[in-house]
Chain A
């Protein structure tokens, strides 16, 4: 069924199953029967991309149309890239195995700044010109979506347009428009001008950016009728929003090998460092009846024996008890596990936990994020030390003897005391273990402390904050390491160089485009993979382009500075972010959205409706 060259390539790579497609549930359409062919590209490996819920939703949504086909493409691993180059084969999709460049629309989902080089690599392997300005024809139209397009300026040179916010509706709008213009034989510029009129579509080439002498942005000006501010799209009612009844079941093992159903969108917590907590507002609940029906349909059609209920903070779902009762009425009989990731142990009833009998936990994970109450208040992580210790105590009593604690280093307002506090909190968790009279004999406790470096992100109250320099981060890591006096606490620290680049690109502007291209040409790709990350090449790229990393990562911004994403509107107002930022500087926490509305104004995207205001929390 494959031609000889494909067979040769596949027999030469380590995991050929990543490139063969043909899984249960994959949709292969006759290309002559559709008007628009959409290549959905995930700029990471198959195993990661196939774990992504968004891909499954968009794939189902587009393939449900009779006039369009959606096919998948993943970043080929290094061994496959070598083969593609050796045989001069352009990158192909998994379904038809046709070259990506033959598609009408090529879409990248940008989940993580460090996948940008993979996007360039995939374009290059597809033999599609990298820069939007070098592509003159209407198709392939290169589009992007995902959380990173909230500031797509660093990739603005390469993509033709971005879909801001949620894709369920805007993808269809875009396909309709492209179909119309393809039929008419429109020029690319004409199509882009029309696309810019669709809510949630951002066309970077229709905006001129000017800079001040000090390197900051002076102005961002819309032209050719493009809106001066582009608002993200949301679906207003999750119950009626598209959700696939069946899904692709990967034939090889992927990272999240289970069915996933979303239970609500948005997060009521407002932790000030967390971009997702602000990007996905306002809160919209899905009803238990609908979730239950969707879980049922997708379990039946996939054959998976595990359902994962997906959200930013599962225990904040307003009708959890009702949902779990509905689910366990059939999942127990069918030997299906219900998994609840992102559970906050502090507010999840124990007896509800016990009802999910099938839930297997290897160890307990807790994310206090900061070592002292003062700093936890400043970042608005509303978890108290007593709650951490209480949960640790419960799990030790339940027979566990391993706890993982996640922290961040380099948070705004952080002092030496806060860093040392991480070690002290870990020590208290160890002490909790020895206070337990029934502790298993001869067993020791392991508390694994893992620290990430804080990365300031757009649309958070910390978007103006400088990131700590590499030297400062390393100094703090050392301080923490010296403060840990017991071998029962193990410490691992994330690579600060990676976080630094993340910070640069998260808040970058268009001048980073040439750095990105230079780094890619030097061989940077799969930057998010520790064994592939080449900071030295990145440094060379910045030097050659005379662009300073410090300017983007380590510079404090004033509230009145024009930010590269100021023409993008994700619902949360700048004045709200400033209020929260000021509270952070005063180490003052905010109540969660359900306790008190803090006026982020994201509800205006949804006609003034925000489900955090519903008071009937079960």
Chain B
């Protein structure tokens, strides 16, 4: 019995599969792949699967960590290979590794955001203003949460959650490369975009892709 970490690539059609559905999807995929997975031992045993970092609906990722516990000594490469034969379009296992880093050590995540505009001029002016706004450090967004049954609205200081930020114009698009806080104090990149929209104007379409995770000292989280 050992724990392994599957790095799940999610793109294209599959980005519209929600976090909860991803769990269901993998429960079945693991069975189809014939991987001997550990079942919880409660009243209602179910296969143990742990997506460490929920990804919002509509976002893509280069590698989402999924921890599972296997009951035999199947090699990592074989797990990758078997899983990739049985997954829906747009989902694949980039690599299977041992569980090196601890979940609690996730501090940051890198994202690429692509914003589509009507024309190049709009993309260019968005780029300039967004860069300025982040430099000025005055970006706020409202985060709607829940406390029990009540809805809460929290003011979020976006810049306090930005570790790195780079933006450039590429044709009719603005491309943002950014590192945001993740893990316990997670900032959803859509909040960054909505804060930018608040001061500037609305983009036409937004693509978000998570590129990887870091520890608090910016070393790679594996």
Q: A residues touching B (Cβ–Cβ < 8 Å)?
A: 1-2, 4, 7-8, 10-11, 16-17, 20-24, 26, 249, 251-253, 257, 300-305, 335, 360
Contacts and interface: CB of A to CB of B under 8 A. Distances in A.
Interface residues of B, number: 31
Contacts of A2: 12-13
Contact of A257 (B16, B24, B44): B24
B41 interface: no
B20 A16 contact: no
Interface string B162-184: 00000000000000000000000
A24 B87 contact: yes
Contacts of A305: 27-28, 31
Contact of A8 (B13, B89, B205): B205
Contact of A302 (B14, B17, B28, B207): B28
A4 B206 CA distance: 10
Contacts of B21: 17, 251-253
B32 A252 contact: no
B137 interface: no
A303 B30 contact: yes
A335 B32 contact: no
A22 B88 contact: yes
B29 interface: yes
B58 A16 contact: yes
A539 B210 CA distance: 53
A302 B44 CA distance: 21
A16 B27 CA distance: 21
Interface of B: 12-14, 16-18, 20-21, 24-25, 27-32, 39, 44-45, 57-58, 86-90, 116, 204-207
16 contacts: A10-B16, A10-B58, A11-B58, A11-B205, A22-B12, A22-B90, A23-B88, A24-B86, A24-B87, A24-B88, A249-B25, A251-B88, A300-B32, A302-B28, A303-B28, A304-B31
B17 A17 contact: yes
B28 A304 contact: yes
Contacts of A335: 39, 45
A316 B183 CA distance: 55
A255 to B, nearest CB: 14
Given A11-B206, A17-B18, A22-B88, 5 more contacts: A7-B207, A8-B205, A17-B17, A252-B18, A360-B44
A17 B16 contact: yes
Contacts of B27: 303, 305
A21 B13 contact: yes
Contact of B17 (A7, A252, A301): A252
Contact of B25 (A4, A21, A251): A251
The 7 closest A-B pairs by CB, nearest first: A303-B28, A22-B89, A303-B31, A22-B13, A303-B32, A16-B16, A1-B12
The prevalent SS among residues of A at the interface is: loop
Contact of B205 (A4, A302, A304): A4
A302 B24 CA distance: 12
Residue of A20, A301, A304 ringed by the most chain B CB atoms within 10 A? A20
B57 to A, nearest CB: 7
A305 B25 CA distance: 12
Nearest to A301: B32
A22 B18 CA distance: 14
A20 B204 CA distance: 21
Contacts of A11: 58, 205-206
B12 A249 contact: no
B20 A253 contact: yes
B64 to A, nearest CB: 15
Given A8-B205, A24-B86, A249 B17 contact: no
Contacts of B86: 24, 303
Nearest to A24: B88
B85 to A, nearest CB: 10
Contacts of B44: 360
A251 B14 contact: yes
Contacts of A301: 32
Nearest to A17: B16
Nearest to A5: B205
A341 B200 CA distance: 57
B14 A22 contact: yes
Nearest to B87: A24
B54 to A, nearest CB: 16
Contact of B29 (A1, A4, A10, A303): A303
A20 B45 contact: no
A2 B15 CA distance: 12
A1 B89 CA distance: 11
Contacts of A251: 14, 17, 21, 25, 88
Given A22-B89, A24-B86, A335-B39, A1 B13 contact: yes
A423 B173 CA distance: 67
Nearest to A25: B88
